[in-house]
Amino acid sequence: MEREALEAIREAQDLEALRTLKARYLGKRGVLTQEMKALASLPLEERRRRGQALNALKEALEKALEERERALEEEALRQALERRRLDVSLPGVALFAGGLHPITLMERELVGIFRALGYQAVEGPEVESEFFNFDALNIPEHHPARDMWDTFWLEGEGLRLTGPLGEAVEGRLLLRTHTSPMQVRYMVAHTPPFRIVVPGRVFRYEETDATHEAVFHQLEGLVVGEGISMAHLKGAIFELAQALFGPESKVRFQPTYFPFVEPGAQFAVWWPEGGKWLELGGAGMVHPRVFQAVDAYRKRLGLPPAYGEATGFAFGLGVERLAMLRYGVPDIRYFFGGRLKFLEQFKGVL
Ligand code: YSA
């Protein structure tokens, strides 16, 4: 019986078979248990001898069962691990990942540069009123300077626009032709000193070509405070050029006319790799008439004048033109042409 039982245990193929064997030999009605019971009817001497033999057998079977059980469990675990094995050296499945648009990248870079200089970034509405886009910036109707900004006018019922403090705005509406109207909105609602930049989308009714779009982006800057001068403006643009084009870059200012600044300038940068002067945008000292328009508007809202003594500088630059240089894009129309092949090249930039 011992030989038979031990062999059966050793050959049991799974835990279920082992359990059956255990029941057969050691269970309540198992062979060994029956034999133990039968001892009672034997004469003393034989009972002792047989009893010892049966006990030894029981121990041997229990030990064999335990060993086989452990071996089977280990084998089962090994198989389970084998099935679920993960090869960490296999190439991963590529996830679809979007990227930021090159103009967003350029805009963020610009805003980051000015943030580091203590500027706050604010945004204004794309639908603007004639007042904020033109009149308050000293560009009255019929003034020839309006021709600088070919305008998309909006008409229709139900268009409502709010002013800097949430008040209703009267007058003709348009798509803003530059980010400068936000100068006026911000000044109405705040008192100096402050430093802001205004990134945003602007619209012009004009033909497109390699360097002109009808919809493009600008970054406006406005700094107002005591003693702010043209030197501060040059310093700001100098810092911008250094950050964008490195320590060897240079900036150049040339006098020009914008109705909302006096004096007005256009500025350009030069850097070794570029090798030529690049026009970046317009700038100047905020015109007293702009401050006057702001205080007049504040008065209408019941606010005290805040810009009687103010001086400040402002600038505005084209984001696409800068991005063309930064990323070597030969035609401005690529940016919003909607071709993935173009956009995918900017994945991971930043
Ligand atoms: C000037 C003085 C200030 O104190 C403040 C701001 C300004 C800038 C002014 N508001 C303005 O819009 N000037 S601008 O018409 O010369 O445009 C500024 C920049 O926008 C240009 O230098 C150019 O880089 C870009 N730009 C103009 N028209 C564009 C254009 N970019 C792409 N497509 C167009 N059609």
| Predicted local distance difference test score (pLDDT) of residue 322 | 93
Q: Which residue CA neighbors atom 26 of ligand 1 most closely? A: 318
* Pair of tokens at residue 28: 């309540």
274-295, pLDDT tens digit by residue? 888 989 999 999 999 999 999 9
Kindly tell me if the per-residue pLDDT of 228 is higher than 70: yes
Closest ligand 1 atom number to CA of residue 261: 4
Query: pLDDT band for position 93 (50/70/90)?
Result: confident
Kindly tell me if the per-residue pLDDT of 95 is higher than 80: no
Q: Could you give the 3-state DSSP secondary structure of residue 50?
A: helix
Q: Which residue CA neighbors atom 29 of ligand 1 most closely? A: 212
Distances (CA, A) of 83 to 14, 16, 178: 18, 21, 64
Kindly tell me if the per-residue pLDDT of 324 is higher than 90: yes
Q: Which residue CA neighbors atom 6 of ligand 1 most closely? A: 316
Write out the catalytic residue numbers.
149, 178, 204, 218, 261, 314
Overall residue count recorded for the chain in this entry: 350
Distance CA 237, CA 249 (A): 11
CA 81 to ligand 1 centroid distance, Å: 66
Kindly tell me if the per-residue pLDDT of 185 is higher than 90: yes
CA 326 to ligand 1 centroid distance, Å: 18
Ligand 1 mutation pick, 321, 331, 333, 334, max ligand atoms within 8 A of CB: 321
CA 248 to ligand 1 centroid distance, Å: 25
238-263, pLDDT tens digit by residue? 999 999 999 999 999 999 999 999 99
Distance CA 342, CA 73 (A): 58
Q: Which residue CA neighbors atom 28 of ligand 1 most closely? A: 212
Kindly tell me if the per-residue pLDDT of 143 is higher than 70: yes
CA 261 to ligand 1 centroid distance, Å: 14
Closest ligand 1 atom number to CA of residue 177: 12
Average predicted confidence (pLDDT) for the chain: 93
Query: pLDDT band for position 32 (50/70/90)?
Result: confident
Q: Which residues form ligand 1's pocket by a CB distance below 6 Å?
A: 148, 178, 180, 204, 206, 212-213, 216, 218, 220, 258, 260-261, 279, 281-284, 314-318, 320-321, 332
Closest ligand 1 atom number to CA of residue 286: 4
CA 316 to ligand 1 centroid distance, Å: 6
Q: Which residue CA neighbors atom 34 of ligand 1 most closely? A: 212
Query: pLDDT band for position 34 (50/70/90)?
Result: confident
Query: pLDDT band for position 349 (50/70/90)?
Result: low
- Give percent of the chain with pLDDT exceeding 70: 99
Q: What is the b/e burial string over 227-257, where b = at least 16 CB atoms within 10 angstroms of the residue's CB?
A: ebeeebbbebbeebbbbbbeeebebbbeeee
Inter-residue contact 335 to 103 (CB < 8 Å): yes
Of 176, 135, 187, 131, which Cα lies nearest the Cα of 153? 176
CA 135 to ligand 1 centroid distance, Å: 18
What are 279's strand-pairing partners?
268
* Pair of tokens at residue 344: 């995918």
Average pLDDT over residues 6-35: 88
